[in-house]
Amino acid sequence: MASSAVSKLNNLSSWVVMSTVHDPEIRRRNARIRMAASSNSGSGEVAVAFEEGQLERPKWTGETPLSRLVGAIISFKPLYSVLKLGARQVLISTAEKTSIPWREMTKEVLESDVYEEMESIEDRSIVYPDYYLNPFHAYDEGNLSWLAAAEAEAATMSMVRRAIPYASSLDEANQIVRGNWLQEIESHHQKHSGNSSIRDIIDIGCSVGVSTRFLADKFPSANITGLDLSPYFLAVAQFKEKRSIQRKDPIKWIHGNGENTGLPSKSFDLVSIAYVFHECPERAIKNIVKEAFRLLRPGGTFAVTDNSPKSKILQELSPVLFTLMKSTEPFLDEYYLTDLEGTLREIGFVNVQTVMTDPRHRTVTATVPY
């Protein structure tokens, strides 16, 4: 029976990957994306208009009948266990069929000296929020495990390839996903922050430092801080950074809670949050936004990139895919129901702007008024 379940999961993951690769509509969309990205490279702004769906958010989120049905399926524990394993199989298969060596990368971290970083990273006085102790991404311990930390970078690479499945390489996909995100941040700051430069950046929810390193490369003269609640993720981030090309100003890694960082007020010019909010309940999202407002100097920029509720691709996901996705993301409904732009304005941000920066993700930028 166990072997039968594994066989079915393998068939499921193969079907998901192959349907993504061969779907004619996805092929046409990505051909348009690649042509547009190529023609607008170096233009200094996000000039590609990615396709939005007709709804405010996917039907499989919130309080819709479809969402409640999916929730009931996930709440059935025996089925949840199968879905969780299936979601994991899909992630790994997608990665390895797009030349991302998931298992090899994971093994390299787990068999390294990364464990020695924990002592200098972990703040044992931290009390974890209740929501953070939930299982995430098919890990029973959520983000508080070495396996989750070891697999995080490969999972991030896989996310980028899924966003742009017909990119010829990971680098090409990153040029769209990461490049458009960074360009939107820079454009917003130049437009709304006068002549103020970006000197100090904090990446809240930095995970293993992938987004943090992109920020450091984009703004090489800035002081960069990566903050995360998982000491395991931060240990991997610090370990990888020590093994990379040495920066003039090394990234500072802080084990902390984005809702209450304890850092000085008005000490940053940019607060960035990348692919974090879809893992948070609404109350945490609002608390992090308040903390970002406190941390930013007048004229500072706040930037969030994450799943776009209006993404046509996300709105049209197959039942198999959105059920697998929701089985590993316990707060996805709350994220999609949160009025992020309204929350930013309510807290005091101005110049709130939302742009689709790739077919699946939006970047929301805002300014702290002078």
What are the pLDDT digits (tens) for 211-229?
A: 999 999 999 999 999 999 9
For residue 63, the SS3 value is coil
And the tokens for 139? 């890990």
Q: Virtual CA dihedral for 301, 307, 312, 314, nearest 10 degrees?
A: 180
Dist. CA 342–CA 196, nearest whole Å: 26
And the tokens for 154? 């490969």
Residue with token string 């051909």? 31
And the tokens for 355? 């742009």
DSSP 203-260: EET-TTSHHHHHHHHHSTTSEEEEEES-HHHHHHHHHHHHHSPPPSSPPEEEE-BTTB
pLDDT at 5 over 80: no
Dist. CA 141–CA 147, nearest whole Å: 10
And the tokens for 310? 């209006």
**Whose CA is closest to 273, among 245, 305, 242?**
305
Dist. CA 368–CA 358, nearest whole Å: 26
pLDDT at 254 over 90: yes
Beta pairing, strands 252-255 & 223-228 = parallel
For residue 272, the SS3 value is strand
pLDDT at 49 over 70: yes
Dist. CA 258–CA 285, nearest whole Å: 9
Dist. CA 29–CA 93, nearest whole Å: 23
Task: State phi, psi for 266 to the nearest 5 degrees.
Answer: 50, 45
Tell me what the mean pLDDT of segment 286-310 comes to: 98
pLDDT at 13 over 60: no
Residue 38: pLDDT band (50, 70, 90) is very low
Percentage of residues of the chain with pLDDT beyond 90: 68
Query: End-to-end CA distance of the chain, in Å?
Result: 64
And the tokens for 274? 């990348």
pLDDT of residue 6: 42
Give me the long-range contacts of 137-142 (CB less than 8 A, separation at least 24): 137/87, 137/88, 137/328, 137/329, 138/84, 138/85, 138/87, 138/88, 138/91, 138/327, 138/328
Dist. CA 328–CA 342, nearest whole Å: 27
pLDDT at 80 over 70: yes
Length of the chain: 370
What is the DSSP-derived secondary structure letter of residue 365?
E
pLDDT of residue 195: 83
pLDDT at 82 over 90: no
Do residues 44 and 187 lie in contact, with contact meaning Cβ atoms separated by under 8 Å?
A: yes
Residue 30: pLDDT band (50, 70, 90) is very low
Dist. CA 206–CA 208, nearest whole Å: 6
